[in-house]
Amino acid sequence: VDDFESAEKLRNAFYFSNYPEPIIYTLYNNSYINDYRFIKYHINYELISDNIFSLIVGRKRNIKVKDKGILFSSDSDLSYVHKYHKSLNILTIDSPSIQALKKIIPHFHKVSGIKVNIEIVSFNEISLILNDINKAEQYDIIRIDMESFPWFAKSNFTPFNFITKKQLEKNYSQDIIKRFCLLGEDVYAVPFDPSIQILFYRKDFFENQTIRRLYFEQNKKDLSIPKNFEEFNS
């Protein structure tokens, strides 16, 4: 392509596609910026303008050009190395994050050589699969909620011996690591995305006098909306 902007647009078009990214050659007027996405050829405007001026005035140039490529200078290379050729099977519930993950799988396969298979099931099905060791062994990565994590971690999962707590501390706080990554002193999980739980209540239920009376007779206290989880659990 004849300009850097077009080179960027062309690369972006291929970046998340199933097609291999082409080697892109582009003209560039600034040789001081290192950008290894493309093979760049620096344009020597001084030499080009001098040639044009010589043609206009009829001046004969006696400069010997060793190589016509003197107008350009290549300063980068582009290569892709696929060292690993295997597959990863992921078991998960559906979510916007998973749909986003599916969009970048073609690019991940392109740059890594690893094929990713995502199986989306319901929340309850994940527990059923984890309770069946033969089914659970089919998956390399399993996304579960934090309530289930302590129950299944040691019996179903392998600790991340290649990830240290010090590495996690670069991206997560101590509290997050303790709550969402560790079981004992071993790293069993990595946070994938945030989630929010919201509790709703039926106003008519709490205002119903019959229900309020029955609740009082059974618990010896008024029925009221819980203000915290201690009241909710009681």
Summarised one tens digit per residue, pLDDT across range 78-100 is 233 344 448 899 999 998 889 98
Same domain, 106 and 157: yes
pLDDT for position 43: 67
Best-predicted range by mean pLDDT among 68-72, 85-89, 172-176, 195-199? 172-176
Contact 95, 121 (CB under 8 A): no
pTM of the model: 0.54
Do residues 183 and 93 share a domain?
A: yes
Residues 136 and 179 in one domain: yes
Q: Average model confidence (pLDDT) for the chain?
A: 79
Q: Are 98 and 180 members of one domain?
A: yes
- φ, ψ dihedrals at 118, nearest 5°: -110, 125
Residue 115 has pLDDT above 80, yes or no: yes
pLDDT on residue 208: 94
Residue 76 within a domain: no
pLDDT tens string 139-161: 999 998 888 888 888 888 989 88
Query: Taking Cα atoms as reference points, which of 179, 137, 132, 129 lies closest to residue 158?
Result: 137
Beta bridge partners of 98: none
pLDDT single digits (tens) 202-226: 999 999 999 999 999 998 999 999 8
Report yes or no on 172 lying in a domain.
yes
94 is in which domain, residue-wise?
87-187
What is the distance in angstroms between the CA of the first residue and the CA of the last residue of the chain? 69
Sign for the CA dihedral angle at 30, 31, 32, 37 comes to positive
163 lies in a domain? yes
Identify the pLDDT of residue 22.
83
Please state the domain count of the chain: 3
One domain, residues 155 and 108: yes
Residues 107 and 164 in one domain: yes
Both 94 and 155 in a single domain? yes
Which DSSP string do the residues of 88-111 spell out, in sequence order? Answer: EEEEE---HHHHHHHHHHHHHHHH
CATH classification of the domain holding 130:
3.40.190.10
* 182 within a domain of the structure (yes/no): yes
Percent of the chain surpassing pLDDT 70: 82
Q: According to the model, what pLDDT value does residue 204 have?
A: 93
Query: Could you tell me if 92 and 64 lie in one domain?
Result: no
Task: Mark whether 172 and 95 lie in a shared domain.
Answer: yes
Domain assignment of residue 78, yes or no = no
Q: Is 77 domain-assigned?
A: no
Task: Work out the average pLDDT over 53-77.
Answer: 53
